[in-house]
């Protein structure tokens, strides 16, 4: 059974940083691209970032480019999102999601974690 | 960016009703369109991929159709457990974008 478990969310002040983690199990992690998707309170879904299976393709939404960094550790079956220069509008539940194949463009999100909450407030 | 619109934004229907949600893309996305169901407090669940491909384990009352810019999601006979918000999502081009959602409840 595929399982994705996010952690690392917190209440932080504007301008600060966090590292979000996603522990994966139940599938061959290094065969798949992995994504982050976020959802602001009471709002819809926003795709944030993707890293391909071999780390050669990394893409970001314009809203986070230059501030967020996606990475993965295949030895630990883990996905990360380093979020920096946080703004109030980054407040959201951050989900990790398994992609449909090894490339980012196969963005069928078959499996999701339960999310980790990031709240940016002074 | 490709803009996705959905209608209606909310919908109230009775058990057993046929329910239809439409999704429109701002440009041709071929069939690179997914539909998700999100129940309150839960993560989204992929129901349909590639516009019309029903995911394994998803009840056959759910279906999808369309290509290009216009897509339709249908529940043939609404069940109480179908109460949720439904999102379409395109993956023809980066950034991947979602529709604003359709909130479905029981009349």
B69 — contact with chain A (CB < 8 Å)? Answer: no
- Residue A68 confidence (pLDDT): 98
Closest-approach residue (CA) in chain B for A116:
B43
Please identify every stretch of chain A with a pLDDT value under 50, giving residue numbers as ranges. Answer: none
**pLDDT tens by residue, A34-65:** 999 999 999 999 999 999 999 999 999 999 99
> Out of B1, B87, B96, whose CB is closest to A44?
B87
Best CA proximity match to B89, nearest among B35, B44, B45, B53: B35
B55 — contact with chain A (CB < 8 Å)? Answer: yes
Q: Do A115 and B43 touch (CB under 8 A)?
A: yes
Neighbouring C-beta atoms of residue A11, cutoff 10 Å: 12
What value, to the nearest 5°, has the Cα angle with vertex A11 and ends A5 and A12?
120
A2 — contact with chain B (CB < 8 Å)? Answer: no
**pLDDT tens by residue, B46-89:** 999 999 999 999 999 999 999 999 999 999 999 999 999 999 99
- Residue B38 confidence (pLDDT): 98
């Amino acid at each position: 059974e595929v399982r994705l478990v996010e952690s690392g969310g917190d209440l932080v002040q504007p301008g600060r940083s966090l590292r979000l983690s996603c522990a994966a199990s139940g599938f061959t992690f290094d065969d798949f691209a992995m994504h982050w998707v976020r959802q602001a309170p009471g709002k819809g879904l926003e795709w944030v970032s993707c890293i391909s299976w071999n780390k050669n393709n990394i893409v970001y939404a314009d809203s986070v480019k230059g501030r967020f960094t996606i990475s993965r550790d295949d030895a630990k079956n883990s996905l990360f999102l380093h979020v920096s220069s946080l703004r109030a509008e980054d407040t959201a539940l951050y989900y990790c999601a398994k992609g449909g194949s090894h490339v980012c463009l196969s963005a069928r999100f078959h499996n999701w974690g339960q999310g980790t909450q990031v709240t940016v407030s002074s | 960016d490709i803009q996705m619109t959905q209608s209606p934004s909310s919908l109230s229907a009775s058990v057993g009703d046929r329910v239809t949600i439409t999704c429109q893309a701002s440009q041709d996305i071929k069939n690179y369109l997914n539909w998700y169901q999100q129940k309150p407090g839960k993560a989204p669940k992929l129901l349909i991929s590639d516009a019309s491909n029903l995911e394994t384990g998803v009840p056959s009352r759910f279906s999808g159709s369309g290509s290009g810019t216009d897509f339709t999601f249908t529940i043939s006979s609404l069940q109480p457990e179908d109460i949720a918000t439904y999102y379409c999502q395109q993956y023809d081009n980066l950034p991947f974008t979602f529709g604003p959602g359709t909130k479905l409840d029981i009349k």
